[in-house]
C-alpha cells in the first residue's frame, strides 16, 4: 500500500464523496444511509480529499466525541481499502498515526507529515516540535 499516490489524470473515473458518506459509514447512526455508504465505499473507486478527511476528523471528534485513537484507527483502515484513494497515501497514513499520539489537530498532523519533503513555516510551538521530531 505504500506509495499509493493518485495522479490527477487517474481521478477521471473515480467518485468523490462528501464527509457525510464517511460519517454514516463509520458511525452507522442511520442504517439506510450507512448501508448505501458501505456499498459505495467498499465497491466503487472512491477518492477522499484531505479536506474531507479533515472535516471527518472534526465531526467525529467534536460532534460524536470519538477518541483520537479510535478516529485514527478507523480512518487508517478505511484508506487501506484497495478501492479507496487519497491524494498521498504515505502522507495521510503518517498524519493519522501522528494524530493518534500527539496533541495536534489533524491539519497540523498533515503539515507535520509533509515536513520531510517540504519546508513548513509556522509560529505554532506544538507543530514546530512535531516538525523537528519528524526530520529524520
pLDDT, tens digit, for every residue of 59-70?
999 999 999 999
In this prediction, residues 99-107 reach a mean pLDDT of 96
The pLDDT-based confidence of 4 (bands split at 50, 70, 90) is low
The yes-or-no verdict on residue 90 having pLDDT over 90 is yes
Other Cβ atoms closer than 10 A to 62: 9
The pLDDT-based confidence of 93 (bands split at 50, 70, 90) is very high
3-state helix, strand, coil in the chain (%, to 5): 60, 5, 30
pLDDT of residue 45: 96
The pLDDT-based confidence of 135 (bands split at 50, 70, 90) is low
Do 27 and 21 form a contact (C-beta atoms < 8 A)? Answer: no
pLDDT of residue 13: 80
The pLDDT-based confidence of 133 (bands split at 50, 70, 90) is confident
The yes-or-no verdict on residue 10 having pLDDT over 70 is no
Do 60 and 66 form a contact (C-beta atoms < 8 A)? Answer: yes
Alpha-carbon distance 19 to 119, whole Å? 29
| Percent of residues, the chain, with pLDDT higher than 70 | 90
The mean pLDDT value of the chain amounts to 91
Amino acid at each position: 500500500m505504500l506509495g499509493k499516490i493518485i495522479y490527477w489524470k487517474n481521478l477521471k473515473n473515480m467518485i468523490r464523496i462528501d464527509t457525510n458518506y464517511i460519517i454514516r459509514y463509520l458511525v452507522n447512526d442511520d442504517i439506510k444511509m450507512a448501508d448505501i455508504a458501505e456499498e459505495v465505499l467498499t465497491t466503487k473507486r472512491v477518492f477522499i480529499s484531505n479536506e474531507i478527511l479533515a472535516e471527518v476528523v472534526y465531526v467525529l471528534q467534536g460532534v460524536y466525541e470519538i477518541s483520537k485513537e479510535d478516529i485514527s484507527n478507523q480512518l487508517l483502515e478505511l484508506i487501506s481499502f484497495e478501492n479507496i484513494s487519497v491524494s498521498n497515501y504515505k502522507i495521510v497514513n503518517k498524519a493519522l498515526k501522528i494524530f493518534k499520539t500527539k496533541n495536534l489537530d489533524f491539519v497540523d498532523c498533515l503539515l507535520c507529515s509533509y515536513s520531510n519533503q517540504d519546508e513548513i513555516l509556522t509560529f505554532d510551538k506544538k507543530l514546530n516540535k512535531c516538525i523537528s521530531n519528524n526530520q529524520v
